[in-house]
Amino acid sequence: MTRTGTRPGTRPSRTARVLAPVLLTLACLLVPLGTLSTWAAYEIGDSGRYVATMAPLATDQDVQDAVGAAVTTGIMANISVGPLQSTVEQYLHDAVVSFTDTAAFQNAWDTANRAAHDAVQQALDEGGTGAVTLDLAPVTEQVKNRLQDDGVPFAAQIPVTHTRITVLSAGDLAELRTWFHRLQLAGPWPPLAALVLAAVGLLLAPHRRRALIATALGMALAAAALLIALPIARSLTLGDVDDATDRAAAGAVYDALTESMRTASWVIVGVGAAVAVAAWLTGRYGFGLRAPTESARHPFGRGRSAARPHRDEHSRERHHEEAPP
């Protein structure tokens, strides 16, 4: 049986034997990098997709609680109602949480996230040094208008202040700026490079089926490594958030923003495992990869040599019959 990936009677060059595993290893290492760069460029870098990703969080209970607490705290810091302070604070909190179930809050949430995304992207591109915040003033204004329509006495005293939730602190922004900006610039090139390197490496490999199995498993393991790294990064990210309500909301935001990365990584794991199993089964049972049989390699040669004794015997018999007595 001939070796897969080589022609009968030939041996791969020393350069091909050395270069093939190097290229295939690089292709596997580029898998998580390509997933990150694609996510940074097209999921985070695009304002429309960012807002669309964040939009469902307007109905998330943890996010609604965090917004309710922030807006209530911002309002109560600017009004005074004497001994009714605690009662009014609870009433305001309930009013804000109730408002988060409306379409008006969804619009205000999308507007605030679009502004926050633009601020983050500008800071990454231009090197801003200040913290990036989510401005909840549109929410405060909508709540004030609703309370005034309901005839609440103190509603007119509510100032529309710029209550803010910090999206990225100045320290976090400084750490993220360099590598995140580079990932966005890389964009689709790392995954494309991984495909090219894998294709060239497989062509040079002396045992292509084995190389295909190893490459598929290597890419699946690389994607699995990213899946393991994401919850670790989540834990580190939320570790600096002291308030339990804010931590729950930040966790919901983190999960929403990294959902596409997790999905892509699981797809790579599944496809890599499927390709490896299919290649192994092909080699195990020899589907379409059996070595040519002797008769297939010499369809006429063996036939002539096998038939020749019969023709010679027939000729001798005929010559014997025709010979004179």
**pLDDT per residue as tens digits for the range 170-227:** 666 666 777 887 888 898 999 999 999 999 999 999 888 999 999 999 999 999 999 9
Provide the pLDDT for residue 316: 53
Asked which of 47-51, 150-154, 192-196, 275-279 is least confident by mean pLDDT, the reply is 150-154
Q: In one letter, which amino acid is 257?
A: L
Distance CA 108, CA 178 (A): 31
Asked which of 19-23, 276-280, 283-287 is least confident by mean pLDDT, the reply is 283-287
pTM: 0.75
- Exposure string (b/e) for 203-219, b if CB count within 10 Å is 16 or more? ebbbbbbbbbbbbbbbb
Which helix (H) or strand (E) segment is 167 a member of?
strand 164-168
pLDDT averaged over the chain?
80
pLDDT-above-70 percentage for the chain: 78
Nearest to 136 by CA among 88, 70, 63: 70
Chain centroid offset of residue 230 CA: 10
Structure-token pair, residue 192 = 């494309």
Q: Are 74 and 136 in contact (CB under 8 A)?
A: yes
Which helix (H) or strand (E) segment is 133 a member of?
strand 132-135
The total of other beta-carbon atoms located within 10 Å of residue 148's CB is 13
Q: Which residue is associated with the tokens 């063996």? A: 302
CA angle (128 as vertex; 125, 129 as ends), nearest 5? 145
If 0-12 CB within 10 Å is exposed, 13-18 middle and 19+ buried, where does residue 171 land?
Answer: exposed
Q: Are 204 and 166 in contact (CB under 8 A)?
A: no
The total of other beta-carbon atoms located within 10 Å of residue 17's CB is 14
Q: In one letter, which amino acid is 265?
A: S
β pairing state of 164-168 and 132-135? antiparallel
Nearest to 58 by CA among 133, 95, 113: 113
Q: What average pLDDT does range 77-89 have in this prediction?
A: 82
Distance CA 310, CA 303 (A): 12
Distance CA 65, CA 54 (A): 16
Nearest to 28 by CA among 212, 235, 289, 209: 212
* HEC string for 254-270: HHHHHHHHHHHHHHHHH
| pLDDT tens digits for range 64-74 | 888 888 888 88
The total of other beta-carbon atoms located within 10 Å of residue 144's CB is 19
Cα dihedral 269, 274, 276, 277 sign: positive
Q: In one letter, which amino acid is 6?
A: T
- For residue 55, the 8-state DSSP code is G
Choose between 152 and 295: higher pLDDT: 152
